[in-house]
Chains A and B, each alone.
Chain A
């Protein structure tokens, strides 16, 4: 198990190269958040970089009151919110009553472009494509829970939302995913 405290202390003592370990460990987590939250694909990598520079610059303020991964995820989420507000994009939390696929603010994104199943697509690819169609916040919560194995409590810390709200988003996301998959494909085929 990685000794995050030792790594952080080494970085703060001037061993900058140790930061490489944190980037390698958390880049998947950061990309999971940024890629769900940011609609414009050309911006995502820059935002991931911005997140890690912020992590580096603020390492001294991290007091190990939570897991380092939770803290990094918080920075990633907040950086996304800042980036979205810069572009004046509205976040669809997935709870508003709306007609299916009517997301004007996000429609320019390739992530929302309707895709169709190719013969070669396996189950994971199909499910991944449908996760990309979910609204940003429920989609991010789903990915953090299932792919990053974060607990509801940790996710609640990242989003600064009550645990019950996170649970509602998660259940709603899975229900939407199930409905989309069963509507588009015969689940048995998938």
Chain B
């Protein structure tokens, strides 16, 4: 059995059911009326805390909030409505490839893909010297770049337009 009194932290931990009283602490409790009294006081305090009720906000509080939010709008909605950036990048790549396939024909695209694969495998240094030759042979460099830029630009403009449409709809609904 321990001779020292139980710490109030241990008693609180025990009542919070975060700690189990060790055997020597339990033995001490049986012998020590002071510790039993402290435990009893905390037990009553914990029980009374469950019954405490604080004054509530006025009954019309919710209505007042709803009046205020009539003129406010969730600020961060835009970030949820817009499509994630990775999706736009993916869509741009797919779009560029699709448009290129239509304009140049599938055979030319297949050829281009094969040459890119070859470039990749032959290494960056040889690619540097060869890329201009390949591009010149197929006359693809300006066309591919232009198509990619047009597709990317188109997607960005569409995104901005959609955001503006959504904003104006929200504004109209707030005004209505």
Contact = CB atoms under 8 A, between A and B. Distances in A.
A58 B75 contact: yes
A97 interface: no
A178 B65 contact: no
Interface string B52-84: 111111100110111011101111111110000
Contacts of B78: 60
B85 interface: no
A183 to B, nearest CB: 12
B49 A16 contact: no
A124 B53 contact: yes
B62 A60 contact: no
Nearest to A19: B69
Given A124-B48, A171-B8, A181-B45, A58 B76 contact: yes
Contacts of A146: 46, 49-50, 52
B41 A56 contact: no
B129 interface: no
Given A174-B12, A174-B45, A187-B41, A12 B58 contact: no
Contact of A174 (B42, B56, B73, B75): B42
A147 B12 contact: no
Contacts of B69: 16, 19, 52-53, 56
A52 B80 CA distance: 20
Interface string A120-162: 0001100110010000000000110011000000000000000
Contacts of A123: 48, 51
B45 A35 contact: no
Interface stretch (A23-31, A65-73, A101-109): A23-31
A61 B76 CA distance: 6
B173 A14 contact: yes
A48 interface: yes
**Count class of interface residues, chain B:** 35 or more
- Interface of chain B, main secondary structure: helix
Contact of A53 (B61, B68, B80, B170): B68
A175 interface: yes
B45 A178 contact: yes
Given A45-B61, A49-B65, A56-B69, A31 B74 contact: no
Interface residues of A, number: 43
A148 to B, nearest CB: 11
B7 to A, nearest CB: 10
A43 B74 CA distance: 25
A45 B54 CA distance: 14
B58 A124 contact: no
A32 interface: yes
Interface of A: 11-12, 14, 16-17, 19-20, 23-24, 27-28, 31-32, 35, 45, 48-49, 52-53, 56-61, 123-124, 127-128, 131, 142-143, 146-147, 171, 174-175, 177-178, 181-182, 187, 190
27 contacts: A14-B170, A16-B69, A19-B66, A19-B69, A20-B62, A23-B61, A27-B57, A27-B61, A31-B54, A31-B56, A45-B58, A49-B64, A52-B68, A53-B72, A57-B76, A58-B76, A59-B77, A60-B75, A60-B78, A123-B48, A127-B51, A128-B52, A142-B49, A147-B49, A174-B12, A174-B45, A187-B44
A-B pairs with lowest CB-CB distance, top 3: A60-B76, A61-B76, A146-B49
